Amino acid sequence: MGRAPQAGPPLIRLAVRCTPAVADRVLAELLELAPGGVEEEAGAEWVEYAIYGAPGELPELGSVQAVAGDEQIEVTSAEVPDDWADRWQDFHEPVVVGERVVIRPSWADRPADSLIDVVIDPGQAFGTGAHPTTRMCVELLLDIEAAGEAHGAFADLGTGSGVLAITARKLGFDPVVAIDSELAALEATAANAAVNGVAVETERVNVRQSDPPLAHTTVANLTAPLLVEVAAAIGRRTAPSPRRLLCSGLLAREAEEVSASFAAAGLAERARRQSGDWVALGFASQ
């Protein structure tokens, strides 16, 4: 997701439209190329996924077209119009999770004092709290808080705009580090943390190339192949594994493989949530 910049190169919207029959396969392939997340729209006979970026920064989508096989697929790109930032204000609404946390854009009214208020504006990093994978991770964090265990070090792998890192800090985790491979994501996270008045460290790591830093409680909202790599990295560690690990970003058909990968690394599945085709898993050290 993105916001029209005040200056500099134009922002481009790159969209893939396909039939519902191949939507899961197209999405999985697209998330490999843009692991931070995608915009999703759907009609009666089509599903469209879109990502945003500056000219020359967007991925090649040949593999996405190939995975659709004989099914109809359409790839388009267009420059985002100047009024796009204003249109985001019509699109983004506050999201209330577990009657405990509200994730809202800055232009939405502040909620009741009983809710933990997390302010996230759409920017050039993905993630506003609206996607099921993010919501389910927050739900799992709330389960930890309800058990009186929302404390200690916290790491957010694939932080995007910092939703989970900021929420964790407001729930009581400390210190909190947000990790991403994209500089824009870390800049967005730092800016959003400042708006929310919380301290969040940022660290640039590509989990495809390096073992990620982990913490007492770690959340990884990544694609299934990246989660398998994280599990392998945990298995290689000589230091203790995270006491708790929460993960999402995977489809229901990928859950068993991911769960088995973390089990092999010494983490036992303790929780599973599903929203549509998306799944979130909670693990604890054995």
Q: What is the pLDDT of residue 3?
A: 38
Q: What is the pLDDT of residue 5?
A: 37
What are the chain's domains? 12-86 (3.30.70.600), 123-285 (3.40.50.150)
- Placement of tokens 């599990």 in the chain: 231
Q: What is the pLDDT of residue 126?
A: 57
Q: What is the pLDDT of residue 44?
A: 81
Q: What is the pLDDT of residue 176?
A: 97
Instruction: Tell me how far apart the alpha carbons of residues 231 and 24 are, in angstroms, rounded to a whole number.
Output: 23
Query: pTM (2 decimals)?
Result: 0.76
Closest CA to 138 of 276, 286, 275, 277: 275
pLDDT per position in the chain (286 positions), as tens? 333 334 455 677 888 898 888 888 888 778 777 655 677 888 888 888 887 766 666 667 776 777 777 777 888 888 877 665 555 555 567 888 998 999 988 888 887 788 999 998 765 545 666 778 889 999 999 999 999 998 999 999 999 889 999 999 999 999 999 999 888 888 889 999 999 999 999 999 988 888 888 999 999 998 888 999 999 999 998 888 899 999 998 888 899 999 999 999 999 999 999 987 789 999 999 7
Long-range contacts of 274-277 (CB under 8 A, 24+ apart): 275/132, 275/135, 275/136, 276/132, 277/24, 277/251, 277/252
Q: Are 133 and 126 in contact (CB under 8 A)?
A: no
Element (H, E) at 263: helix 255-264
Q: What is the pLDDT of residue 250?
A: 86
